[in-house]
Amino acid sequence: MIEDPPIKTRIVVLISGSGSNLQAFIDARDDHQLNAELVAVISNRPEAGGLARAAHAGIISRVIDHRDYPERIEFDRALATAVAEYAPDLVILAGFMRILSSEFVDQFSGRMLNIHPSLLPKYPGLNTHQRALDAGDTEAGATVHFVTSKLDGGPQIVSGAVAIANGDNADDVAAKVLDIEHLIYPMAAQWYCETRLSMQDGATLLDGEVLPTTGQTIKLAGKTAK
Ligand code: GRF
């Protein structure tokens, strides 16, 4: 008897920039670490480097340029329509640099993830690495979380921490943090694909347990994840 192939989670990835996190998803899929179909990549910027990564991987891509929409809500509606056309099970914000309206967020509630380059709840918003340096922090990192209408404030899933060394500047920290982003983001998505991860009553549930508000923490010390 021929068995049906396993059903793959349909993922739409939203980008604005270089798309290194998108690349991590493509690589994880190719390495069978992510049981998902990357059904489309949508960028709000025509010049986003991630579009070439999508093309190279044979993934459909679209540009919905926010500058074509005088009102934020009009852009969000066009984006929502485009995303919905691909019937995603999961929407991945991967360096997507637009704040989304609650109308958009509600449409994909519980099935949209973001990665933010800080150890949330520290430093929501921009310039996270410089802010960590200015505060004299010894650790920086990134956090994967469910998207809610609170900016960078949805239930946390997993954080990855890296050490800040003496003399590091913001670019040095960003490079280390990106390494851990590429590790934790596809990993969290795979938990979702395995139906181990969900958002319920404003909290993260992993394997049936409510996670603490800071989610799981993984330390990347000398590249050893634990
Ligand atoms: C990442 O640091 C991500 O956390 C932030 O923007 C950066 C985008 O990187 N939101 P990329 O486009 O995935 O390379």
pLDDT value at 223 more than 50 = no
Domain 8-108 CATH (choose: 2.30.110.10, 3.40.630.30, 3.40.50.170, 3.30.310.160): 3.40.50.170
**Ligand 1 atom at shortest distance from the alpha carbon of 16:** 12
Equal CATH topology for 8-108 and 116-226? yes
- Gap between the Cα atoms of 23 and 59, Å rounded: 11
DSSP annotation string for 181-204: HHHHHHHHHHHHHTT-EEEETTEE
Arithmetic mean of pLDDT, 148-169:
95
pLDDT value at 224 more than 50 = no
pLDDT of residue 222: 36
For ligand 1, atom 3, the nearest C-alpha belongs to 95
Q: How far from the centroid of its chain's Cα atoms is residue 60's Cα?
A: 19
Task: Tell me the torsion sign for CA atoms 142, 146, 22, 29.
Answer: positive
Estimate the share of the chain in helix, then strand, then coil, as percent rounded to the nearest 5.
30, 25, 40
Ligand 1 contacts CB of residue 115 (under 6 A): yes
Q: Which of 66, 116, 145, 182 is catalytic?
A: 116
pLDDT averaged over every residue in the chain = 93
Residue of 181, 183, 185 to test ligand 1 pocket, by largest number of atoms within 8 Å of CB: 181
Ligand 1 contacts CB of residue 88 (under 6 A): no
Arithmetic mean of pLDDT, 115-130:
97
Q: Which residue has the tokens 């694909």?
A: 193
Q: Tell me how far the alpha carbon of residue 171 lies from the centroid of ligand 1, in angstroms.
A: 13
145 catalytic residue (yes or no): no
- Gap between the Cα atoms of 204 and 144, Å rounded: 11
The CATH T-level fold of domain 116-226 is Rossmann fold (3.40.50)
Q: Tell me how far the alpha carbon of residue 72 lies from the centroid of ligand 1, in angstroms.
A: 22
**Would you call 15 helix, strand, or coil by DSSP?**
strand
Cα–Cα distances in angstroms (integers) from residue 160 to residues 98, 175, 184, in the given order: 23, 13, 7
- In which element (H, E) is residue 132 found? helix 128-134
Domain ranges of the chain: 8-108, 116-226
